[in-house]
Chain A
Amino acid sequence: MSNNRKKNLTSIQQQYQTFAKDREKKRPVFKNCIKAFFVGGFICTIGQAITTFYMYFFDFTEQTAGNPTVATLIFITMLLTGFGVYDHFAQFAGAGTAVPVTGFGNAVISAAIEHRTEGFVLGVGGNMFKLAGSVILFGVFSAFVIALIKTILIQWGGL
């Protein structure tokens, strides 16, 4: 893609792009990875604590405790997003807050808050899944493809 685009550029444009690229401040990828690792791990630890809590105090098993755990994490995300803290936290943590279920929750909730001014139906309803919609679409589709492969392997592959 980017190679294709480059071909359409004049030589002056290409020269400038290399010139500008040299002066561009790079993302601190390594530092970001370390931060994401620890923050993501921290969120997962909280998740594990919540799961244990549900199993210990309520009638949940390791299999069934997943749903209330996710719901609780998303509820916490909702509060943090609504109070305007989550985005500051995310600027620090990067993928650490984006990859766990909290990132998905934040994408839905922030869009819902943002479009509240345009009304409940066209505003909140129409825009809530603006960012998260593609996650759902491609998530469901990938699950479908994997299920298909699994079925084929079991039926004909003799697994």
Chain B
Amino acid sequence: MLTGHRTWIFENKPVIVSTGTVGGPFEANGNIADDFDLLHSDLWMQQDSFEKAHKLLMEEACIKAIEKAGIQKDQVQFFLGGDLINQITPTSFTASTLGTPYFGLFGACSTSMEGLALGAFLINAKGANYILTGAASHNAAVEKQFRYPTEYGGQKPPTAQWTVTGGGAALLSNEGDGPRVTSATIGKVVDMGMSDPFNMGGAMAPAAVDTIEAHLKERGVDSSYYDLIVTGDLATIGRDIALDLFKKHNTPIDEQRFLDCGLIIYREGQPVQAGGSGAGCSAVVTYGHLLNRMKSGELNRILVVATGALLSPLTTQQNQSIPCIAHAVSIENGGA
């Protein structure tokens, strides 16, 4: 079960039975539009506030996942989820709609894998038959909270990242068909004293590197074991830094197989500066695009490392550094 210091090996290999992914208009124009279950053409989504639209993203992703598995809402034992809004209210409202027992998580953009790791642990230990886990973010709602008003004309530097509008949820179970969760490494907070909220990739890269190296060491595998190692939202700058850090630490990583969700989701030429970010980013890319590629047999073993910048608008204004974290979960095809 526990291997090394902070890695779990799941002997029962919990199955990702189904997933649900929802996106916004900007994602519909992106690179992986076909991998979404549902796309909205308008940021408001017929709601009267961005926060309500945010809740809708989470809700629809969860309901879609339950629907696709062909089960009823009340068969789900626990719901583990989170987002970036104050006191994670969109997720809590979703939990209220679902009516399932609920753990609220906050891991910023690493929430998706934090939820998947904990969910897999519970299923593996036979603590539940069905667990729903997910994360979401809404561009305007999150920008409003962390940065400036949506329509404010401030020029963003090339290191800034674009918050993804999207929600992704996965349903885990002990039986069924689908890719399986085989192991997870829990990250520790890495704080390199970086304090620029417009360069989160640079702040999060050391956390991602730390978790990946710990995972490979504790699981006793080489990076070539995985078809892909995918980070959450390091974007261009963070990814380059991470690759250089691996080089510096003499950890062999194949550049072609080291991808980033924040770079997969958008097309070249979309005005996102360095790339995508947000709690929904790794959730929609993993539960949509990557799992589809696994199901088609193109990929067999992937390691998803969701990275989170655990800052708040208050700590930024008080000039504090950005504490960062990364959680890694391995998803593999094949028998029980």
Contacts and interface: CB of A to CB of B under 8 A. Distances in A.
Contact of A23 (B51, B193, B244): B244
Contacts of A95: 155
Q: How many residues of B sit at the interface, in one of the four size bands?
A: 35 or more
Given A17-B193, A20-B194, A117-B51, A87 B241 contact: no
Nearest to A36: B155
B279 to A, nearest CB: 21
Contact of B159 (A24, A93, A110): A24
Interface string A18-37: 01100111111000100000
Interface residues of A, number: 44
A106 B202 contact: no
Contact of B152 (A5, A16, A111, A117): A111
A151 B323 CA distance: 51
A81 B151 contact: yes
Contacts of A131: 148-149, 152
B153 A84 contact: no
B241 A20 contact: yes
B96 interface: no
Q: Tell me the dominant secondary structure on chain A's binding face.
A: helix
Nearest to A26: B158
Interface string B44-56: 0000111100000
A54 interface: no
Residue among A17, A23, A103 with most chain B CB within 10 A: A23
Contacts of B205: 20
Interface in A69-103: 81-82, 84, 86-91, 93-95, 97-98, 103
A10 B193 CA distance: 9
Given A27-B157, A91-B153, A114 B144 contact: yes
B157 A86 contact: no
Given A17-B193, A117-B51, A24 B237 contact: yes
A20 B202 contact: yes
A113 interface: yes
A110 B149 contact: yes
Given A23-B202, A27-B157, A91-B271, A114 B193 contact: no
Given A16-B192, A24-B237, A25-B159, A98 B202 contact: no
B65 interface: no
Given A24-B237, A103-B153, A110 B202 contact: no
Interface string B231-244: 00000110011001
A134 to B, nearest CB: 13
B82 interface: no
A90 B153 contact: yes
B269 to A, nearest CB: 14
A16 B151 contact: no
Interface string A134-154: 000000000000000000000
Given A16-B206, A17-B192, A23 B237 contact: yes
B283 interface: no
Which 6 A-B pairs rank lowest in CB-CB distance, beginning with the nearest? Answer: A90-B153, A114-B149, A110-B151, A13-B193, A117-B49, A110-B149
13 contacts: A16-B192, A20-B192, A86-B153, A87-B151, A89-B153, A90-B153, A90-B155, A91-B153, A97-B153, A107-B152, A110-B149, A110-B150, A113-B149
Given A13-B193, A90-B153, A106-B151, 11 more contacts: A1-B319, A10-B193, A20-B192, A23-B244, A27-B158, A89-B153, A91-B153, A98-B153, A110-B148, A110-B153, A131-B149
Interface of A: 1, 5, 9-10, 12-14, 16-17, 19-20, 23-28, 32, 81-82, 84, 86-91, 93-95, 97-98, 103, 106-107, 109-111, 113-115, 117, 130-131
Interface of B: 48-51, 144, 148-159, 191-195, 199, 202, 205-206, 236-237, 240-241, 244-245, 271, 274, 319
